[in-house]
Each structure stands twice: as structure tokens, then as C-alpha cells.
A and B are shown apart, each in its own frame.
Chain A
């Protein structure tokens, strides 16, 4: 049994999802190899070999791989696929772009958005928008799996002594070529995998007041989320919606401001490690699941909080 993990990276550094996927791999078997496809990735390879769980780091370093094109990366994966029983990728746009193509070329079924490993042949994944959890048993001798990063811890990134092996780039004819990349310029982390999320709800009362949330998020280098009520009332766009029909998040810290905590919202954030709630209604259901609760008027509390944070920053620097 052998597991191959597809590294998600930007040529300079690994994206955090890679570490979650390696952790998932370690639940399957301890013979784990990391495949890094990219251009000028020597530093990455050296970083990779320190990851405790890895036995081998496989690199494919070529200018042809300097952008993430599924048509170019899949042949590389295919060339070594026969050596493995499991190939894992993060269930992010990156992994979802590449792995299905590999699966199609191998004519096998992919198992997507896995949140738990029961045993090397049985995987746990949510269905019906998370209303049910399916245990999927696969008879396939090779399983292609995308892993939901928030469902697994970060693996240990030091203490490893993996071997580094280089494999040749395979030039394949393709109709696809890279033209341009437009990245939304946001210093704010992506909501789905941010470590800290600050969410605003109906209590903010209007779109203007949401600037309190943005300011606080900037100070904490957090992502901005919202409840359905805030989105439906037009305070913020629906890409920020956290909940049953929005995004599922599981940050280290979730601060819910002016959010009552209806079950539909809780469904999207209850797996957060620490939950803080600020609401002027003492009876708000959110206080039942919050680790820390402050009942008070957010329009007073948030400015006070920001002042305290400024003070802390001054002390620390």
C-alpha cells in the first residue's frame, strides 16, 4: 500500500491545504509520497523533505509546469500512478481541477470531499449539503480521493527525512494553453480556509455598519463572513455567507457579531475550534455554543475591542 499526495503550492510555498491532506494520508498508510509539479521548485522540495510523515518527495520541475494546467499535470501523475493504491489531492479548486481528469484518464471513480478515513478502503463524506454522512466503501485497487482540508489537522512539518526523487517532465500535445491569470486582490484570507473568521449578522443593521467587521477583520488578519439575514438584507455579498446553504468553515477562531445563532447558521460554523459571540440579546441561541460570550451593544463593544487590539499591537511591537 502506498499513498501519493498531490501538493498544492504556488511555486514559492506550500498552501496550507497540502498539510491537511498529508495528515489525511497518514490515516491510510505510512508510506506517503508527495508529488510537487511546478517550475523552479527546489526550495519547495527541500521544505517538503522535512515533513515528518513523508517517505519520499517526488519533483517534476519544468517551465512547462509554471501554471496550473490540468492537461499538463495529469500526464505526470499518470506516469507514476501504478505505483500507488491511493492518490490524494485537496478538495480545493486546485485538486478539483486536476484529479477528475486523472480519474477519467484511468477510467476509475473519484471519491470527493472526504472528511474522514475509516480504513484504507472506506471513506467518509458528506452528502445532501451535509445533512447526511455517507461511508463509502471502495473495491478499487487504486482510489483517487479529494480531501476536505478543514476536516483534518495540519501535519507535522519538521523532523522528517524524506528522499527527493526527480521525475522527467512529459510533453503532451494539448489544445490548452495558459493565457492570463487574474487574482482578486485581497489581503484578506479566503473564507473557506482562514484561521480566523469574523462574521456579521442582522445586528449590524445596514451595509455601512459592516465596515466595523471589515476593520476588525483587518486587525486580526481574518476573513469576513456573514449570516443569511445579513446577505438577504443586502449588507454584504452572498459569497460571504456562512451556513447551511452557504460556506462551511472550521477556523481556529470564529467571532459571531450580531448573529442570533439560528441552527442554519450553526450548521456552517459549529466545527470552529473557538467560538466567540457578541450580541445584545442574552437569550440568543448562539451563546449556547459559544466558548466566550459577550452580551452587549456591538456598536460600543467593537470599537472598544479594536482599541484594545491596537494597544496589544503596540505592546507586542
Chain B
């Protein structure tokens, strides 16, 4: 669709993604200079619809950005007042005393929040400062000039059918030209992926590392609810060679934010992160909280875990890559929101200098290195790599590295593999039998996807593109038993038998997609490319 006339809009700054990073950039830009023209494109139907996070929030960046946030009815109110770290075995749990925990896992002074609600609030602050926010509009393509400088983005065409032909309601996408383009799409943003490749931003860096995070919101019985309590677990049900762990945060309205993270560098192709999470809920330490409770929400999202070693260059000609789109999450702290916000605030300062004095956007690297985000990420950098040695050695190393050496060990471990390279062959792996769903604590995928309120307009092009459409059946199925059937948390990918010719087919139920990006990350041959579907589609998370 390149030959149609498209409308053009011009802004000083266009930001892709109304998450904590993008919103902070916009707010800070307007604080520095109210005359700057800033717009934010958000593919979700409203701000917050695609925001999905634990979330125990450190207010450091918020304090800097909007110091009087408490007086402005900010939805950051539930202070952490109790903490527990448990090592789970098959039937019981061992509590790790808090004083033994590294500082990164101590949450005194932090808040249990819904990041989706915080983003809604940040969006209100941004709009009152004159930022234009466009929900329901997906930034589909990057715009470049003849010199290969980034000059803006193009929103997706609306109203194309599954063969990419215009339907009755066809509307061509709009070209948004800007002096600076900020990519803040969150973990594994599809445009971020493109610029990293195009500009070689990850040159000399470790391969990026990811996890998949699940979360359910449960309304639990008041006698089991302890407002402000934070619980983290490691161990069961994951085996010691798989990175991951669980969380349970007691939120307002008798709600429990219950979740699980599985590192996507797992090796067994039969592992199903979704089923590990469902199994997790049956552990007595968790199931006792859920007696008489009702599940009201479900979702999943990939997390970026590579830390400093994998953090790409965040600046390019005409643009900046910030927040989780770059990889500013502090994995040992299990927090990325405050670092995302700060990365956005730094971006605003660098952009302002660029707009007024034509200084280079590459100044970002310097400013970032001087910031507390960098210091924080530097301190935690060796924790994730140590998990290559297995859970127990990693826990011992982490205790040494963080508590005794305060993250200042004079070496840096690198990540050896990209997550998609770690699967062993199905023939060499042992099948995992997961227990049946009981419909009380554990549920099947369609019932879970239902609670994410995900929806995509009917009859549109499939947004999950296979480089080689035959690969799943001709290769991945034999080699790895097509793990897409298991790593997708929404049941998008199925192996079916075509009854006409008894051949196996790789079915893609793109309607179910909850935009988590796990397939884009974990597909062993990198055969699946996630691009954005029509704007407004995807999950409609609320209160997550």
C-alpha cells in the first residue's frame, strides 16, 4: 500500500507507546518547554489496555517527575508493609529470612500498584500539559529519508481484509513526520526490533534475554487477604535449571495479583510456561490464599531480562529507543517501571537540547551512563547470568555478589545464547505431564484468554508472519515438537490434521493474540515475526 496518497501530520516529537517510558518522556518534554509539539501513538484501545505488570513500584522516578503526585490523586497508595521470600518444595516451603535477602529484594518504601492505572493517570497529566495521545492507532512502519535517518512513523492501514485488500471501511494510515521519534513500545517492540537490526544497535552486546510473565487477578476472601503484603517464591514447580519464580501481591479491594515468570532460555521444548503457572497455584502456600476466591483477570507479557550486558545503543539518527523496548528493566529487583520512566525523562532532556541547539541525540548514551538507572543496572548485572549454574549455586552467588560485594565484583558475566537458541531436541527431551485443569484453581487457555478481553477486528491480515510457512510442519514439529503450541500463553498456535488429505497443518488463531511477543522471541528458527495488527485490537487489560 505504498502508492496511495497518505495524510501527513508533523510533530516535533512522536512517541510510540503510552507506557511509563513514553508518557514520562512526553510529560518531561512539556515541563521543559510547553511549546514542543508532542504526540503519543498507542495501539491499545485506550491507555492502559496493553499495560501488564506485577507491580511493586519504586517511586524514585515519579518523585523526580511529578514531586507532588500524592496530592494529585495518583493511584500509588498501597504501601508494602510485609515481605516474604519462599523457597518452594513439592509440598512445603522454606522462608528465607528477610535480613538474608539482598537489598534489591527488599521492598520497604515501595507500593503495590496497578501499572495500567498509573499509566492512565500519567496520561491525564500528559494531556493536561498539552500532549496529544492517540489510542487505537498502531505505529506500523518507520519512515526514513534518503540518508537513512529516522523521520517519523506511519500508522497502520485500517480496514484491510485477510488478503490485504481494502474493505468497505478502508482508511489508509497516516504519515507522522517528526524531528525525533521515540520508540517506547515495551519489551520486544516490533519497531524497536527493526531499528536494532537496521542501525546495528546491539553490536558488541550480549544476546538479549527474556522471560514470560503471567498474572491473574483474584478476588480473595478477606480472611486470606493482607493488604500491602508482598510474597516472592522460587523453586517448585520449575526444575533448578529453569529460571523463574512466582509472586503474590495483596492489592486494594481484596484483590490478589498472582503471577509467575519463566525465563525464556528454558531448554526443554515440552515445557509449557502457562502450565507451570497453573501448576504453581496448586502449591499449598498459594492455594490456601485462593480458598473461596474468584479469578477475574488473566494475561501474559514477555519481560526483558538481559540487563546492562544486552542493553543496545539507545540512540540513532532521528530517534531514541527507551524503556523496556531497549531493556532497562532491573531483573534481580524485579522492577522495570521506575527505570523506564527515568530513561524517558533523560530522553526528554536530550531531545530538548537536540531541538533547540541541534546537539546530537547520541548524547543520550552519556547522560544515561551518568544516571542512577545505569548505576542500578550495573550493580545487578551478574545475577541473571549466574542462573546458568542452576538455582542453588545462583542463589549462593547472588547472596555473595549482592550482599557482600554490593554488585561491585570486578568482572561481568555475559549471556552466552539468545533465548531461541537454547531448546534441546524433542527426541532428547523428556515429556512433561501437566495435571488436568480443575476449573477451580487451574484453567484451560481459552477460559484464561477470555479474561484478557482480547479482541481483534474480524477479517484482517494475520499479524503473525511466518518467514517460511512450511517450516513449522517440515522442521519445527519433528525437531522440537513445535513448541509454539506450548509457549504461546493464548493458544494461538495449534497443530491440526486436515481431514481432506490427512496432512498436518500449523493453524494460527491470531484472534487470540494477547500481544505478549513470546513467539517472536522463542521460535527456534526465528520464523515468526510479530507485526502490529489493526489498532485498537489486542487485550483490554483493566486494573493490571
Contact B455 A129 (CB under 8 A): yes
Nearest A residue to B436 by beta-carbon distance?
A283
Nearest B residue to A244 by beta-carbon distance?
B450
Kindly identify which residue among B447, B453, B500 contacts A262, using a CB–CB cutoff of 8 Å. B447
Chain B residues with Cβ under 8 A from A30's Cβ? none
Contact B450 A206 (CB under 8 A): no
A238 and B161 CA atoms in complex are apart in Å by 14
Contact A205 B499 (CB under 8 A): yes
A245 within 8 A of B: yes
B446 within 8 A of A: yes
Name the distance in Å between B278's Cβ and chain A's nearest Cβ: 16
**Segment 483-514 of B: residues with Cβ below 8 Å from A:** 496, 499-500, 507, 509, 511
A156 within 8 A of B: no
A131 within 8 A of B: yes
A136 and B499 CA atoms in complex are apart in Å by 49
Chain B residues with Cβ under 8 A from A165's Cβ? none
Contact B453 A131 (CB under 8 A): yes
Contact A263 B455 (CB under 8 A): no
Chain A residues with Cβ under 8 A from B509's Cβ? 232
Say whether chain A's binding surface is mostly helix, strand, loop, or mixed. loop
A232 and B462 CA atoms in complex are apart in Å by 12
Chain B residues with Cβ under 8 A from A264's Cβ? 446, 449-450
B71 within 8 A of A: no
Chain A residues with Cβ under 8 A from B449's Cβ? 264
Contact A238 B458 (CB under 8 A): yes
A128 within 8 A of B: yes
Contact A206 B446 (CB under 8 A): no
Chain B contact patch, size range: 10 to 19
A264 and B446 CA atoms in complex are apart in Å by 7
**Segment 29-79 of A: residues with Cβ below 8 Å from B:** none
A205 and B505 CA atoms in complex are apart in Å by 13
A206-B500, A238-B458 as given contacts; A263 in contact with B447, CB under 8 Å: yes
Chain A residues with Cβ under 8 A from B459's Cβ? 238
A228 and B500 CA atoms in complex are apart in Å by 19
Nearest B residue to A207 by beta-carbon distance?
B500
Chain B residues with Cβ under 8 A from A228's Cβ? 511
A267 and B507 CA atoms in complex are apart in Å by 23
Nearest A residue to B498 by beta-carbon distance?
A206
Contact B458 A262 (CB under 8 A): no
Contact A245 B458 (CB under 8 A): yes
Chain B residues with Cβ under 8 A from A233's Cβ? 496, 507
Kindly identify which residue among A128, A206, A238, A262 contacts B499, using a CB–CB cutoff of 8 Å. A206
Name the distance in Å between A19's Cβ and chain B's nearest Cβ: 32
Name the distance in Å between B494's Cβ and chain A's nearest Cβ: 9
A262 and B446 CA atoms in complex are apart in Å by 6
Render B40-82 as a binary contact track against A, CB cut-off 8 A, 1 for contact. Answer: 0000000000000000000000000000000000000000000
Render A250-270 as a binary contact track against B, CB cut-off 8 A, 1 for contact. Answer: 000000000000111001000
Chain B residues with Cβ under 8 A from A245's Cβ? 455, 458, 511
Name the distance in Å between A164's Cβ and chain B's nearest Cβ: 44
Contact A263 B453 (CB under 8 A): no
Chain B residues with Cβ under 8 A from A128's Cβ? 453, 540
Name the distance in Å between A269's Cβ and chain B's nearest Cβ: 15
Nearest B residue to A231 by beta-carbon distance?
B458
Nearest A residue to B450 by beta-carbon distance?
A263
A128 and B511 CA atoms in complex are apart in Å by 17
Name the distance in Å between B443's Cβ and chain A's nearest Cβ: 9
Contact B500 A263 (CB under 8 A): no
**Segment 425-483 of B: residues with Cβ below 8 Å from A:** 444, 446-447, 449-450, 453, 455, 458-459
Render A116-131 as a binary contact track against B, CB cut-off 8 A, 1 for contact. Answer: 0000000000001101
Nearest B residue to A267 by beta-carbon distance?
B450
Chain A residues with Cβ under 8 A from B540's Cβ? 128
Chain A residues with Cβ under 8 A from B499's Cβ? 205-206
Chain B residues with Cβ under 8 A from A232's Cβ? 507, 509, 511
Name the distance in Å between A262's Cβ and chain B's nearest Cβ: 4
Contact B446 A263 (CB under 8 A): yes
A245 and B460 CA atoms in complex are apart in Å by 14
A205 and B500 CA atoms in complex are apart in Å by 8
Name the distance in Å between B338's Cβ and chain A's nearest Cβ: 32
Nearest B residue to A229 by beta-carbon distance?
B509
Nearest B residue to A260 by beta-carbon distance?
B446
Chain B residues with Cβ under 8 A from A129's Cβ? 455
Nearest A residue to B448 by beta-carbon distance?
A263
Nearest B residue to A232 by beta-carbon distance?
B509
Chain A residues with Cβ under 8 A from B446's Cβ? 262-264
Name the distance in Å between A234's Cβ and chain B's nearest Cβ: 11
Nearest A residue to B45 by beta-carbon distance?
A128
Render B265-276 as a binary contact track against A, CB cut-off 8 A, 1 for contact. Answer: 000000000000
Render A180-208 as a binary contact track against B, CB cut-off 8 A, 1 for contact. Answer: 00000000000000000000000001100
Name the distance in Å between A85's Cβ and chain B's nearest Cβ: 36
Chain B residues with Cβ under 8 A from A206's Cβ? 499-500
A232 and B511 CA atoms in complex are apart in Å by 10
A285 and B446 CA atoms in complex are apart in Å by 11
A233 and B509 CA atoms in complex are apart in Å by 10
A262 and B540 CA atoms in complex are apart in Å by 20
Chain B residues with Cβ under 8 A from A131's Cβ? 453
A285 and B436 CA atoms in complex are apart in Å by 13
A238 and B450 CA atoms in complex are apart in Å by 20
Name the distance in Å between B359's Cβ and chain A's nearest Cβ: 47
**Segment 361-409 of B: residues with Cβ below 8 Å from A:** none
Chain A residues with Cβ under 8 A from B458's Cβ? 238, 245
Pairs of residues from A and B, 6 with the lowest C-beta to C-beta distance, nearest first? A262-B446, A205-B499, A263-B450, A263-B447, A206-B499, A263-B446
21 contacts between A and B (CB under 8 A): A128-B453, A129-B455, A205-B499, A206-B499, A206-B500, A228-B511, A232-B507, A232-B509, A233-B496, A238-B458, A244-B450, A245-B455, A245-B458, A262-B444, A262-B446, A263-B447, A263-B450, A264-B446, A264-B449, A264-B450, A285-B444
Besides A263-B446, A263-B447, 17 other A-B contacts (C-beta < 8 A): A128-B453, A128-B540, A129-B455, A205-B499, A206-B500, A232-B509, A238-B459, A244-B450, A245-B455, A245-B458, A262-B446, A262-B447, A263-B450, A264-B446, A264-B449, A267-B450, A285-B444
